[in-house]
Amino acid sequence: MSEAGARDWGIVKGEIMTETIIKTENLHKTYTSGAVKTHALRGVSLEIPRGSFTCIVGPSGHGKSTLMHLIGGLDRPSDGTVHIDGTELSGLGNRELAAVRAKRIGFVFQFFNLLQSLTAQENVEVAMMLAGVPEKDQAERARALLAQVGLAEKCAARPSELSGGQQQRVAIARALANSPDILLMDEPTGNLDSAAEAEVLELLFSLHRQGKTIVIVTHNNDIARQAQQVIRVSDGVISD
Ligand SMILES: Nc1ncnc2c1ncn2[C@@H]1O[C@H](COP(=O)(O)OP(=O)(O)O)[C@@H](O)[C@H]1O
Ligand SMILES: [Mg+2]
């Protein structure tokens, strides 16, 4: 596929990881718009080990994003359960759920989802405010994270002044704002050219080596080939 895929990112296959950090049981999600019901998920049970690199693959429209949203507590299932680090999300009220999301999970989306009127640094700081990082620490920590993703010089830039790859790296810095154990990435390189994709993947794999649990939806076969676990979603269920 892309040049990026030809690299070896240093994932150790076959490494023994026993502790489960994400677990779903019999997840269902039905969307209702007017008279139309869409059964996006129809009973998904999975386990993801702590520190692993897991790919979710499957055709467009078959429920991958829905699954990511439920795992990350961005939406609630119609039926079934999600456990994050032993906490069952359905047992949480909206405020508690928001707190788990802010502190334990970092999200990265295909279209970056940065706030256009804010600088790179402010975009990262916003995530810290939500998780209650003391205000006096926010600016320094945001600058350190932007430096970590190779954007030390771009703290004051707005998204419109950055390339796609740079915007996605700001989004990754934002996802790291509260030191989450889990990074959920929904086609993070789907909107990037191959050079920018390579930069972003390099960063992702270095985060994996630092111990983050990475769950990534991707159409890049090279990433899937190197992942420790590949989950195939087809028509709202796990196939294989
Ligand atoms: N908010 C929504 N309201 C109604 N239908 C939705 C919504 N989100 C997704 N869907 C539908 O659910 C199915 C699965 O979508 P999605 O999870 O986005 O698939 P994927 O990420 O694999 O492309 C599709 O048929 C899609 O149209
Ligand atoms: Mg999707």
Cα 14 to ligand 1 centroid, rounded to whole Å? 33
* Integer Cα distance of 126 and 133 in angstroms: 10
pLDDT confidence of residue 7: 55
190-203 per-position pLDDT tens digit? 989 999 998 888 89
> Percentage of the chain with pLDDT > 70?
93
pLDDT at 3 over 50: no
Mean pLDDT, range 31-40, rounded to an integer: 95
Ligand nearest to the CA of 40: 1
- pLDDT of res. 222: 86
In this prediction, residue 207 has a pLDDT band, given cuts at 50, 70 and 90, of very high
- Residue 73 Cα, ligand 1 centroid: separation in angstroms? 16
What is the per-residue pLDDT across 139-162, written as a single tens digit (0 to 9) for each? 999 999 999 999 999 999 999 999
Task: Please give the CATH number for the structural domain made up of 19-112+178-239.
Answer: 3.40.50.300
Residue 17 has what pLDDT?
61
Between residues 240 and 78, the one the model is more confident about? 78
Q: Identify the residues whose C-beta falls under 6 Å from ligand 1.
A: 31, 33, 38, 40, 58, 60-66
Nearest CA to ligand 1 atom 24: 61
Ligand nearest to the Cα of 74, by number: 1
Whose tokens are 């994270």? That residue is: 145
- Strand ordering across the sheet containing 79-84: 36-49, 20-33, 79-84, 87-88
> How do the domains of the chain map onto residue ranges?
19-112+178-239
Percentage of the chain beyond pLDDT 90 is 75
Torsion of CA 104, 110, 116, 120, to 10 degrees: 60
Residue to mutate (ligand 1; options 27, 33, 38, 232; most atoms within 8 A of CB): 38
Look at residue 2 and tell me whether its pLDDT is greater than 60.
no
- Alpha-carbon distances, residue 27 vs 46, 110, 201 (angstroms): 9, 24, 29
Tell me the residue length of the chain.
Answer: 240
What would the mean pLDDT of 84-94 be, rounded to a whole number?
A: 92
Residue whose entry in the numeric block shows the structure tokens 């990475």: 214
